[in-house]
Amino acid sequence: MHVSSDSSSVETIPQQQNFSVSLKQQALALGFDKVGIVRAESLSEEARHLDEWLDLGYHADLSWMLRDSEKRTDPRRLFPSARSVIVVALNYFTPAKHQDSSASGKVSRYAWGDDYHDVVGAKLRSLLAWIREQDPDADGKVCVDIQPVMDKAWAVRAGLGWLGKHTNVITPELGSWVFIGELLVNLELDYDTGPIEDHCGTCTLCIDACPTQAITEPYVVDSNKCISYATIELRSPELPVSMQENLSGWLYGCDVCQDVCPWNRFEQTSDEPRFAPRAGNVNASLSEILNLTQESYAERFRGSAMKRAKLSGLQRNAKALLSDEL
């Protein structure tokens, strides 16, 4: 079923609506928890905020953020035939808890199980395959974090949630423990009505709780001060002293701003078994990390998002945590 882009063709409207409803039902059947559909267009206001953030140098050493700016703010630059953006959210919360121990380092919840790029990507590819079964002329592009797409901006536009003061998307049903993905398609669909209200109100718990004051003001994070950035993305052989002194036990990532968020009282255990914590991924043994070889590291973290930090980064972080205990 190919849906006409001619807005004057009123007979296509019920067809668009019916197909969009079926598409959303299929997305939910594949395991996604939320889905919204919006028009593929330029993110002009969001692009302005991104430029301001980059001008302040808050991207730190993430030089790739400076590339592909046109693609990042307009999905049609990435996928020229894009007409619609299907935005999905997948709950990854599991109820395990971190332990405070000088012998181990805490790992961010998103990396406890299998790599979300693989899980979300596979589900989106299945959704695209279903769309192509309905319409042989349909085409699309799957986007999960690594493509130059403003994931959080699209989730907000699609009404999946609002951008919290910690800059994570908060859904009213599940809190902020969700992964976001997009499917760009060459079909005109029935679009959702738009963003939902920001419900952060006067709350500043995330700002107040940040161990390194990385949330410089509501809705703005300075990566230079962020524990998640330092322990995952920073490639320097040593962590900055100011960061090392404020790691608060984190080996990989940091969940403090989400842990204190009142909206996460609505957290629910994920139905996705691949997000169940792997052994040693809630708290990782520092001695084990330091004794890993390149071969044992590759085996230990195969299919895990923790590969992002590389062996050198994990061992650097482990040494920093141990030195902090001395």
Task: Give residue-wise pLDDT tens across range 88-140.
Answer: 999 999 999 999 999 999 999 999 999 999 999 999 999 999 999 999 999 99
Kindly report, residue by residue over 193-203, the tens digit of the pLDDT: 889 999 999 99
Mean pLDDT score of the chain, rounded to an integer?
A: 94
Query: Could you give the C-alpha distances from 264 to 177, 233, 267, in angstroms and in order?
Result: 8, 26, 5
Q: What is the pLDDT of residues 38-87, one digit of tens each?
A: 999 999 999 999 999 999 999 999 988 888 777 889 999 999 999 999 99
Residue pair 92/144 in contact by the 8 Å Cβ criterion: no
Residue 39, strand partner residues: 84
**Which residues are CB-neighbours of 81 under 8 A, at least 6 positions away?**
139, 186
The per-residue pLDDT for 285 is 98
- Report if pTM > 0.75: yes
- Show me where the domains of the chain are located: 12-96+113-185, 205-325
Q: What percent of the chain has pLDDT over 70?
A: 95
Show the tokens assigned to 280. Answer: 């040693």
DSSP string spanning 224-257?
GG-HHIIIII--SSS--HHHHTT-TTEEE---HH
For the annotated catalytic residues, the residue numbers are 145
pLDDT one-digit tens code per residue, 233-272: 999 999 999 999 999 999 999 999 999 999 999 999 999 9
